[in-house]
Amino acid sequence: MHYLPYGVAAWIFCVGIYGAIVSRNLIHLAMCLAVTQSSTYILLLTIGYRKHGTAPVFKGFENRTRGVDPVVQALTLTDIVVSVTVIALILALALDAHRAAGTVDPDELVGLHG
Amino acid sequence: MSRRTLRGLLALPALGVLGAILAWGASGLAPFGHFHGFYGQLLNAIALPQRHTTNTVTAIVFDYRGLDTMGEELILFAAVVGVVLLLREAGHPTQQDIARDRVHSEALRYFGVAGAALVVLVGVWLVAFGLVTPGGGFQGGVTIASGVVVLFLTAGYRSWRRLASEHALDPLEATGAAAYITLGLATLIAGAPFLHNFLGPGKTGTLFSGGSMSLLNWAVALEVAAANLVLYTEFLQQYVVSLVPDTGEE
Amino acid sequence: MIAVVLVLAALAATAVALCLDPLRQIVLSGMYGLLLVILFVVLQAPDVALSMLVVTTVAYPLIVLAAIRRTRR
């Protein structure tokens, strides 16, 4: 349990990369990259967790010394919103490739054609 | 064997090595639950007395690390510009395509509009109370965008286009991004540090507890909501273009 | 409790990455996203859970389904 979250994050990272390597479809590849990115969120949040800690929102609370780390939460929440647009950019590239070559299979998209 | 299976078999030992390196790196971290970082504990203790905001995470996003938020916002902006440029040539829906995307159920349409209004209200509430309870510009912005897109799902493409046209959304998104940077530059010109909290801390627990953090909050919410809506516009255009005539397959 | 949710999230991520049909994958990714929301709530991160919830139930399925539809014709 002491190192399980880090192991889970590493596992999800490697599984996402493996899925991207053996992908047959550019859209499937984009979703695998999203899975890989989510493993970094898990890693960040579990690094900042403190045992018996509370959420870093202190409305009506006096004791503020036992909260979990708020800095990693700030990093993660902006990253989640931004990752949508980046994955959308990858999907737009996939749509462009489909328009030019008629296929979204990465194995058939080799070579540059004029 | 095909190239794909060969790639997969070659990838497995390489990923094993990667996993071993990650595991070795993770073993140097503190065990789960025993975080010793000083910065986070310090911010937890001083955010409330110093900035009068009860939500420490929002105070970090808009005040203590406001510069990073500006960078993230500009990533969002640049990615949306990229998507619009790529999908601009990909075909626009004709009147025939738009006419095919109709929702046939009246009940769905009326309840959908009510539901969309409710979700947008929740989004605005999340933005407004972001400094007091969990919420903030980013969360509220995506919620507002998802509320508006419910209109597409329940009322058809034409109704949605009336509300979310590109002529309205592009200036809104640019305004949101520019407002954040302008607020920062204004304080710089006035002699204070960039993105300094010029309105001062307010009364804890009210909507204006953060000073100029509230302004940055609303700027980010505007930009995130408009950027997401532009994204949905581009992709839904592609969806409507690809609808086939009513031969039973939709 | 946290261990159970973490292991479930790992299993769900494996399912998402190894599912080759994009249409099924987006459904699995919705479930994976909801599991992550539960994980974030259990890890005492309500802000992160809010943004992940909206993103994974509305934003991702919308853009991926539109892309699948367009590349299938």
- What is the per-residue pLDDT for B49? 81
Partners of chain B (3+ Cβ pairs below 8 A): A, C
pLDDT digits (tens, 9 = 90+) for A32-81: 999 999 999 999 999 989 888 888 887 766 666 678 889 999 999 999 99
C-beta of residue A57 within 8 angstroms of C-beta of residue B54: yes
For residue B75, give its domain range: 54-241
Among the partner-chain residues B15, B75, B90, the one whose CB lies closest to the CB of A82 is B75
Minimum CA–CA partner of B139 in chain C: C51
Conformational region of residue A52, where left means phi above 0, alpha means psi within -120 to 50, and beta covers everything else:
left
pLDDT digits (tens, 9 = 90+) for B135-175: 889 999 999 999 999 888 888 888 888 877 878 888 888 89
Contacts of B228 in chain C (CB under 8 A): 59
ipTM of the prediction: 0.92
> What is the average pLDDT across B71-90?
90
User: At residue A111, does pLDDT exceed 80?
Assistant: no
- What is the per-residue pLDDT for B155? 83
Long-range own/partner contacts, residues B18-25 (CB < 8 A, 24 or more apart): B18/A13, B18/A14, B18/A17, B19/A10, B19/A11, B19/A14, B22/A6, B22/A10, B22/A13, B22/A14, B23/A6, B23/A7, B23/A10
| CATH code for the structural domain at A4-108 | 1.10.287.3510
For chain B, what is the mean pLDDT? Answer: 85
What is the number of structural domains in chain C?
A: 1
User: At residue A22, does pLDDT exceed 70?
Assistant: yes
% of chain B exceeding 90 in pLDDT: 30
Domain ranges of chain A: 4-108
pTM for this prediction: 0.90
Stronger pLDDT, B106 or B81, i.e. the higher one: B81
What is the number of structural domains in chain B?
A: 1
Tokens of B117: 């209004």
- What is the per-residue pLDDT for B246? 52
Q: Measured between CB atoms, does C69 come within 8 Å of chain B?
A: yes
Among the partner-chain residues B139, B149, B239, the one whose CB lies closest to the CB of C58 is B149
For residue C23, give its domain range: 2-71
- What is the per-residue pLDDT for B249? 46
